[in-house]
Structure 1
Amino acid sequence: MKKINFRNIRIRKVDPGELDDSMLLVNLYLTQAITFILGISIVLFQSQHLTALIRLPERLSVWGWAALFAAGVLVFDWLIARWVPEEVTDDGGINKKLFGRRPLWHIAVISFIVAVCEELLFRGAIQHAFGPYWTSILFAAIHIRYLRHWLMTGMVFAISYGLGKLYLLTGSLWAPIAAHFIIDFVMGCLIRYRKDEEDGEG
């Protein structure tokens, strides 16, 4: 049996331009499937009631708080984009590649799947064990494409911490899910239609 020489393995930065659309989507959906399964497994291991965790809220205020939080994040992001150089918020082109030519319905599907899977794992499972602070550190760490820029890493941490507090405030996992969905969907749409405008100028 041939031995693997680990010293010959090289890790290099992947240019988003090297990823074709199908590979990017496979990677996204596979990652979210793993996140979802991991979230459910941890919740069940913690002896939480999964049905209670995913029950839709009866109070309309839950959705209101979610929308208010998402609006605050989007306004803050708009201010950052307006006053901070573009290279500081650069994620390596992944978001442009993901949303740049995506139809509106697919942006909605991606945003919903990511919101459900990530919030189930981070707010539903991990926060139950470690609280919003340490959960947010882990959440920021897995968004590796932002780690090169302290401002973006800080923003991801702050948003995650806010989502954690939103969950505690409302008592419903659907509040951070809804807020996460709105943020991702609006950002995806902005990237999508901004790219159309840029292509039209060219």
Structure 2
Amino acid sequence: MKKFDLRKLKIKPVTVDQIDDRMLLINLYATQAITLVIGFIWLLFQKRNPFLLFAPPEGLKYLYFGAGLAALVIAIDFLTARFVPEEANDDGGVNERIFKNRATWHIVVLSLIVSICEETLFRGAIQHGIGPYWTSIIFATIHVRYLKHWIPTGLVFAISYALGWIYIKTGTLWAPIIAHFLIDMIMGLVIRFRREA
């Protein structure tokens, strides 16, 4: 049997255009699964029950905060798209590749998975340990595709901080999950149907 040599393993950078649709989705789902697992492990290290984060909240305050933040972010994004040159908002074509040919139901599913996984890790686990400011710096940094331009990087930081703020104000993870879900879903649908018009 031939022995595996780790030194012969080569890693080369790949652009989004070099990945086919199937591999793009596999990477997206895999990174979200890893995000959720890390979030649950982090919560367990904090001696917190991950499932209690998903307890049904009382009243509708969380819904108003989540939907309100989503509406504000979408309005700011449309204004930014209108007045800021397209190259200053460039994410390397990742969002367009993810959403432009996706079925509506799939955009909804992707948005839901991303919002639950990322909010569990960032708001549920990390923010509990280091607060919303440093959590937002980490959140903006992992959205590496935006780091080439300061406007989208600043927006991602501000959105993350706002998600952390509504989590604190409502006391439930469902508020940032709803906001994150609505932002991703509506922007995904805009990308999807803008290309057909």
Question: TM-score w.r.t. structure 2 length?
Answer: 0.94
**For residue 4 of structure 1, what is the amino acid of its counterpart?**
R
Amino-acid identity (%): 53
Aligned to 2:193: 193
- Aligned-residue offset at 1:64: 0.8
- Aligned-residue offset at 1:11: 4.4
Deviations for 1:148-199, whole angstroms, at most 9, x for unmatched residues?
00111111000000000010000000000000000000000000001111xx
**For residue 74 of structure 1, what is the amino acid of its counterpart?**
I
Deviations for 1:123-159, whole angstroms, at most 9, x for unmatched residues?
0000000000000000000000000001111110000
- Aligned-residue offset at 1:50: 2.4
Identify if the C-alpha distance between structure 1 residues 10 and 38 changes in structure 2 by more than 3 Å, giving closer, same or farther.
closer
**RMSD (Å), alpha carbons:** 1.4
Aligned to 1:149: 149
**For residue 166 of structure 1, what is the amino acid of its counterpart?**
I
**For residue 144 of structure 1, what is the amino acid of its counterpart?**
V
Mark the runs of 5 or more structure 2 residues left unpaired by the alignment. Answer: none
Question: TM-score w.r.t. structure 1 length?
Answer: 0.92
Aligned to 1:200: none
Aligned residues: 194
Aligned to 1:97: 97
Rounded to whole Å, the distance in 2 between the matches of 1:129 and 1:15 is: 34
Rounded to whole Å, the distance in 2 between the matches of 1:3 and 1:58 is: 53
Question: Which residues of 2 match residues 155-166 of structure 1 at below 5 A?
Answer: 155-166=155-166
- Aligned-residue offset at 1:48: 1.4
**For residue 73 of structure 2, what is the amino acid of its counterpart?**
V
Question: Secondary structure in 1 aligned to 2:195?
Answer: helix
- Aligned-residue offset at 1:51: 3.0
**For residue 189 of structure 1, what is the amino acid of its counterpart?**
L
Aligned to 1:177: 177
Runs of 4+ residues deviating >4 angstroms: none
Identify if the C-alpha distance between structure 1 residues 3 and 10 changes in structure 2 by more than 3 Å, giving closer, same or farther.
closer
Deviations for 1:12-46, whole angstroms, at most 9, x for unmatched residues?
3x332211110000000000000001101111110
Question: Secondary structure in 2 aligned to 1:105?
Answer: helix
